[in-house]
Chain A
Amino acid sequence: MENGILKILNFYAGYNVKTILTNINLSIPSNKVISIMGPSGCGKTTLIRCINRMHELQPDANFKGQILLNEKNIFATSPILVRRKIGMVFQKPNPFPTMSIYDNVVSGYILNGIKIPRSEKDRIVEETLRKVYLWDEVMDSLHRKGTFLSGGQQQRLCIARAMAMNPEIILLDEPTSALDPKATAKIEELITKIKKSVTVILVTHNTAQAARVSDFTAFLYLGELVEFGFTEKLFTTPKDKKTEEYLTGKFG
């Protein structure tokens, strides 16, 4: 745990006078799935939005402390570079409506003005769509608009879009909350597969999902990190009373 890919040190964040996250310390190991769970409003989303510096885009947002990616403070570099290394997938599928499926996958390159040859693009598109198990379903309609896909397919396309940039970390903000159980199962399956190439941080309010897919789990409550550890350990023998109460459904 000492040489984690991402380290969050004495981190505080909030809006205006309202503090949302208090003194978060977390070291995230690479190529694992890490769940962040907790009741609504506990700061899960705020935490991951700090990790790719999206939090600071909100008016009146503030933060204090350090987040280290490969031992380098992310607040010392340009947010644009941070966001290319740390991808994000949102609650509701949001493929770019004016772009084809193909262009959606390579949109990170298009929007950043990175020119790559056509053959390279073709390779990235196929490889990434295979990674998210979408290739077989869309290989004949790559040049149709991404918004014609079903909700679950759209969300996998969004994961592909983030994965195509070869990020070191991918942040998933409740990626299945807008999907049906079947689509959810597919996404969960692919999460456990993609950790070979990327570290996954998954925000979820669904404890069963955290138990199913993640190697490590963090439990946040009222903006504080209550407990962090191996998922199995945290679910079977939680150290903190709050964690146990949350897992047994006493609150949240």
Chain B
Amino acid sequence: MQRRIIKDKLFEIIIIIFALVSTFPLILILFQIVKKGIASINWSFFVNLPQPPGESGGGVSNAILGTFILIVIAGGFSILLGVLGGTFISEYKDKKISELIRLCVNIFQGIPSIVIGIIVYIWIVMPLHRFSALSGGIALGIMMLPLIVKSTEETLRLIPSSLKEASLALGASYTTTMLRVILPAGINGILSGILISVSRVAGETAPLLFTAFGNPFMNFNIFKPVDSLPLLIFNYSMSPYPEWHSIAWGASFVLISFIIILNILTKMVSRKWKTVF
């Protein structure tokens, strides 16, 4: 009896230790970024353009705007497609084609992001003969697509079929039933899927290397290169200038904060719009 209790206690202690150990790297990373990054954060960091090496100060407004433009393009391209695709495979669960799409989506998720960057380079950058925000946005959108399809499908699958029947039995058409009853009932899951996918791609560097390319100037034109926070971090941290290193740390801090805020927002959305059946 005594031995069993000791064994249980021991096991409990071990899992607590392992749980703490697994969060330790995250805490270290956050600590490091906050320590080194917070020093360069001030108002001008958000509104100014980067300075040439040797001059202090300067900001990353171009990269913040660029990240925003890239996410808007990526979302514009992938949200509708992903939600409708997910709706299709949840509606026609047992069809062969749904199986096929599901398989493709799973494989899709496993494709390394650098490969997606190269593909978009061949598809869009080469025919247009230029690096552009558009191509970068599409690369990120392609990465968001499988995430949105999957989260939409999983959300819709949990909605009881009796809801659909209730709507159809009132004389509503299939389209109305899907758009006004089923999709709204799953809105929290679909929205959090979208937000999670945004926070996933917001930190991507590899697919942007040959597409959005980076740009030290402010740019609103989607047919021209733009900078993004991860690209800027990548370029600046590789440079030999200490001023640029501190800007890279500051940018890391901004990026991490953005992703943490997105994650908190996701939690809030899924709590606020939770549908009770």
- The answer for the CA separation of A25 and B180 in the assembled complex, in Å, is 38
Nearest Cβ in chain A — how far from B167, in angstroms?
Answer: 6
Contact assessment for B171 and A80 in the assembled complex, using a CB-CB cutoff below 8 Å = yes
| Alpha-carbon gap, A97 to B275, bound state (A) | 6
Give the shortest distance, in Å, between B169 (CB) and chain A (any CB): 4
Q: Chain A interface: which size bin?
A: 20 to 34
Contact status of A96 and B166, CB under 8 A, knowing A110-B180, A111-B180, A145-B276 = yes
Query: Looking at the complex, which of B34-42, B157-165, B212-220 is the stretch in contact with chain A?
Result: B157-165
Cβ of A161 under 8 Å from chain B: yes
Of the residues A92, A97, A107, A147, contact of B170 by C-beta under 8 Å:
A107
Asked if A165 is an interface residue, CB under 8 A from chain B, the answer is yes
B176 at the interface (CB under 8 A from A): yes
- In the complex, how many angstroms separate the beta carbon of A32 from the nearest chain B beta carbon? 22
Contact between chains at B275 and A54 (CB < 8 Å): no
A158 touches B276 (CB 8 A): no
Of A83-91, A119-127, A134-142, A190-198, which stretch is located at the interface?
A: A83-91
Q: Is B275 within 8 A of A84, CB to CB? A: no
- Flag whether B72 is at the interface (Cβ < 8 A): no
Contact A113 B176 (CB under 8 A): yes
Q: Mark B181-217, 1 if CB is under 8 A from A, else 0.
A: 1001101000000000000000000000000000000
Bitwise interface map of B from 45 to 57 toward A, beta carbon under 8 Å scored 1, else 0: 0000000000000
Contact, CB under 8 Å: B162 / A92: yes
Could you tell me if A90 and B162 are in contact, using CB atoms closer than 8 angstroms?
yes
- In A148-205, which residues have CB < 8 Å from any B CB? 148, 158, 161-162, 165
Residue contact A96 to B181, C-beta cutoff 8 Å: yes
Known: A113-B176, A147-B276. A98 touches B184 (CB 8 A): yes
Most chain A CB neighbours (cut-off 10 Å) among B163, B172, B173: B172
User: Are B176 and A84 closer than 8 Å at their CB atoms?
Assistant: no
Question: Taking the complex as formed, is A76 at the interface, i.e. its CB lies under 8 A from any CB of chain B?
Answer: no
Smallest Cβ-Cβ distance to B173: which chain A residue: A80
Chain B neighbourhood of A111, CB < 8 A: 167, 170-172, 176-177, 180-181
A112 at the interface (CB under 8 A from B): yes
Chain B residue at smallest Cβ distance from A158: B166
Contact A94 B171 (CB under 8 A): no
Q: Which residue of B lies closest to A57 (CB)?
A: B168
Q: Is the CB of A84 within 8 A of B276?
A: no
B276 touches A83 (CB 8 A): no
Q: Which of A81, A83, A96, A165 has the most C-beta atoms of chain B within 10 angstroms of its own C-beta?
A: A96
Q: How does the 8 Å CB contact mask read for B103-128 relative to A, with 1 for contact and 0 for none?
A: 00000000000000000000000000
Chain A residues within 8 Å of B172, by CB: 80, 108, 111-112
Question: Which A94-110 residues have a C-beta within 8 angstroms of B?
Answer: 94, 96-98, 107-108, 110
- Among A80, A82, A84, A113, which residue has the most Cβ atoms of chain B within 10 A? A80
A162 to B169 CA separation, bound complex (whole angstroms): 9
Query: CA–CA, A122 to B277, complex, Å?
Result: 25
Q: Are A54 and B165 in contact (CB under 8 A)?
A: yes
With contact pairs A80-B173, A92-B162, A147-B277 given, residues A98 and B185 touching in the complex (Cβ less than 8 Å): yes
Q: Give the distance in Å from the alpha carbon of A203 to the alpha carbon of B277 in the complex.
A: 24
Inter-chain contact A83/B166, CB cutoff 8 Å: no
Which of these, A81, A94, A98, A148, contacts B166 with CB under 8 Å?
A: A94
On whether the beta carbons of A94 and B162 are closer than 8 Å, the reply is yes
**Within B130-169, which residues are at the interface with A (CB < 8 Å)?**
160, 162-163, 165-169
Residues of chain B contacted by A112 (CB below 8 angstroms) = 170-172, 176
* A-chain residues with CB within 8 Å of residue B181 when the two chains form the complex: 96, 98, 111
Check A52 for interface membership: any CB of B closer than 8 A. yes
Asked if residues B169 and A97 are in contact (CB atoms below 8 Å), the reply is: no
Distance of A111 Cα from B276 Cα, bound (Å): 20
Which single residue of chain A is at the shortest CB-CB distance from B183? A98
| Known contacts A54-B165, A97-B163; is-contact A108 B171 (Cβ 8 Å) | yes
Nearest 7 interchain pairs by C-beta: A111-B172, A84-B171, A83-B171, A88-B169, A94-B162, A98-B184, A108-B170
Interface residues of A (CB under 8 A from B): 52, 54, 57, 80-84, 87-88, 90, 92, 94, 96-98, 107-108, 110-113, 145, 147-148, 158, 161-162, 165
Q: List 29 A-B contacts (CB under 8 A).
A: A80-B171, A81-B171, A82-B171, A83-B169, A83-B171, A87-B170, A92-B162, A94-B165, A94-B166, A94-B277, A96-B163, A96-B167, A96-B185, A97-B275, A97-B276, A98-B185, A98-B187, A98-B275, A107-B167, A108-B171, A111-B170, A111-B171, A111-B176, A111-B181, A112-B171, A113-B176, A147-B277, A148-B276, A161-B170
Binding site for A on B (CB under 8 A): 160, 162-163, 165-173, 176-177, 180-181, 184-185, 187, 275-277
